[in-house]
Structure 1
């Protein structure tokens, strides 16, 4: 497969721009399903060959495995690419077994320790460079801070770490030019409104909350991004698989009301001869705050399928029909129309 002329979009008010399609690094580290290192590195290589310039990873993914894979695959090929990783988890070696259940197949022998403090952020960043074997990353996201991961009471002291020191560390790294953009990478939009109250950010990686199935983050979060000049990277565009023919939504079995809604959306897609996954992949980019859609293929073949969906023409009338049927949230931006 040769290079594709992907649309590029700016990241907030930074000097970065990214291809509107990116490559996420969680699946490559073996979440739920094992992926060999050879297959993972070949997937990154295929993305580069196709013309994708944005790559995301994190210490949590395979407890360091994803960063090793991504760094090995990108080393010597970083020119023109944008790489993000995440802070908030430190990895510590284990001797025998993990302290709690996890979803990784064949992870590295480390466990995670949450730390959003000034020192924790700085150490996390430096550790990531070591695992990547690279001298720089472009974007740092604060990973999985919020009630969804830590619970109401558990999140309070961790958020206080970010408020009293972690945010300062991120600002120092960005304002000093060590990284080019900072943000949060989470699965819930509500904590991002708290982040806006804390200070200025460039880009947020939000998984699953602005998709063809769900636009719960539309207002006030997405509208605030436009006002504050922040971009959104949309992770989980297939909502854990339900939008590509699977039965999983939000990492669990989809409830009946979600299954019915997906069926209704797919009926509209069939009217226009558009595969549901193609519509799901392209939908988030109808919003002007979105700079990138970030799926997580497990192999070069899965990536090729995603690129085929990406190249599938989707008429703007499809979005209009979905809106008319009440299958998009009121106010969802639709190409060619002015949002009310």
Structure 2
């Protein structure tokens, strides 16, 4: 297979340059429906063969399963991609009969324990290295801290752990060159504004909050990223499937107002002969803070479908029409817009 010449963008002020399309490896661990291990590994190999150079995983995904599968492929790869994983959850062995599997179909036999402390971050990083079977991880994200996951009161002691020691651990790892970039990986932009108050970060993985459907993070978060020279990786570009013909938004059945907005966006896309998923996939990169879009295909065939959407030509007039119809937030930076 001939590798594609993907555009690359720099992460913050680091030396890391990622392809603008990445591979998210949550789905490969079998969320909501099973993914055979061979199929998961084949998907990672296919992504590398196409020229994608950024792969993201996490201990949570399949409760260790994703990191094991990703490591299997990366250990044999001719050249290693830029790899990110996450801290904030420690995996504890458990009897499978007593396991909290969540939405994972065939997870490894562990339960997760939240820990954002200094020792928790260091332990999580070392555990990930062992599951991956790799000595090198390029990016570490603090995973799912915030009120969306833990509630207002539940998040307070966890945030205190991060502020009281977890951030220091991340800084030590980065300053020593053990990892090259640090950030947070979350589904809510508000907690990232709190993170800026803790110190400097290189990159944030934000899922679902800067998409063709929703630009709630535009200001003050995205504007602050520009000012603080931090990059943004956009996860969940299809908003849990609603932008690829599904009925879920934020992991639940989409409410009618969201469905109506999607229909209105799709009508504009049809006017320009552009598939809605293609517009959804390419939209986040119109913002200068965004360095990468991170979909999560479940098979090589799904990845090929994503690549077809990636190749679709989108005229500037589509973006400006969406803006004129009030289907993009005011101030959204788009090609072809007048100053």
Same fold per TM (> 0.5)? yes
Q: Which residue of structure 2 aligns with residue 180 of structure 1?
A: 180
Partner Cα distance (2:190, 2:97) in 1: 34
Tell me if 1:308 matches 2:308: yes
Q: Secondary structure, in 3 states, of the residue corresponding to 1:113? A: strand
- 1:211-249 residue CA offsets vs partner (Å, 9 max, x unmatched): 000000000000000000000000000000000000000
Q: Which residue of structure 2 aligns with residue 136 of structure 1?
A: 136
| 8 A contact 1:94–1:110 mirrored in 2 | yes
Tell me if 1:56 matches 2:53: no
**Long gaps (5+) in structure 1:** none
Tell me if 1:104 matches 2:112: no
Deviation at 1:99, TM superposition (A): 4.9
Q: Secondary structure, in 3 states, of the residue corresponding to 1:91? A: strand
Partner Cα distance (2:175, 2:274) in 1: 44
Q: Secondary structure, in 3 states, of the residue corresponding to 1:172? A: helix
| Change in CA separation of 1:280 and 1:222 when aligned onto 2, cut-off 3 Å | same
TM-score in terms of structure 2 length: 0.98
Partner Cα distance (1:205, 1:245) in 2: 24
Tell me if 1:295 matches 2:319: no
| 8 A contact 2:99–2:110 mirrored in 1 | no
Deviation at 1:337, TM superposition (A): 2.9
Q: Which residue of structure 1 aligns with residue 245 of structure 2?
A: 245
| Change in CA separation of 1:181 and 1:98 when aligned onto 2, cut-off 3 Å | farther
Partner Cα distance (2:42, 2:76) in 1: 15
- 1:97-126 residue CA offsets vs partner (Å, 9 max, x unmatched): 345450001100001000000000000000
What pairs with 1:311-326 in structure 2 (closer than 5 Å)?
Answer: 311-326=311-326
Q: Which residue of structure 2 aligns with residue 15 of structure 1?
A: 15
Partner Cα distance (2:76, 2:68) in 1: 14
Q: Secondary structure, in 3 states, of the residue corresponding to 1:97? A: helix
Q: Which residue of structure 2 aligns with residue 273 of structure 1?
A: 273
Partner Cα distance (2:225, 2:75) in 1: 33
| Change in CA separation of 1:338 and 1:202 when aligned onto 2, cut-off 3 Å | farther
- 1:4-43 residue CA offsets vs partner (Å, 9 max, x unmatched): 1111000011000000000001000000010000000000
| 8 A contact 2:83–2:139 mirrored in 1 | yes
Please give the root-mean-square deviation of Cα atoms over the aligned residues, in Å: 1.0
Q: Secondary structure, in 3 states, of the residue corresponding to 2:195? A: helix
Q: Which residue of structure 2 aligns with residue 148 of structure 1?
A: 148
| 8 A contact 1:248–1:254 mirrored in 2 | yes
**Long gaps (5+) in structure 2:** none
Q: Secondary structure, in 3 states, of the residue corresponding to 2:293? A: strand
Q: Which residue of structure 2 aligns with residue 330 of structure 1?
A: 330
- 1:22-70 residue CA offsets vs partner (Å, 9 max, x unmatched): 0001000000010000000000010011000000000000000000000
Deviation at 1:95, TM superposition (A): 1.5
The structure 1 segments of at least 4 consecutive aligned residues displaced by more than 4 Å after TM superposition are none
Partner Cα distance (1:228, 1:252) in 2: 34
Q: Which residue of structure 2 aligns with residue 190 of structure 1?
A: 190
Partner Cα distance (1:78, 1:95) in 2: 38
TM-score in terms of structure 1 length: 0.98
| 8 A contact 1:98–1:111 mirrored in 2 | no
Tell me which moved more, 80-89 or 52-61: 80-89
Partner Cα distance (1:94, 1:161) in 2: 25
Deviation at 1:336, TM superposition (A): 3.2
Partner Cα distance (1:181, 1:101) in 2: 30
Tell me which moved more, 79-88 or 43-52: 79-88
Q: Secondary structure, in 3 states, of the residue corresponding to 2:97? A: coil
Tell me which moved more, 97-106 or 275-284: 97-106
Partner Cα distance (2:98, 2:262) in 1: 37
Instruction: Give the aligned length.
Output: 339
| 8 A contact 2:99–2:109 mirrored in 1 | no
Partner Cα distance (2:264, 2:179) in 1: 43
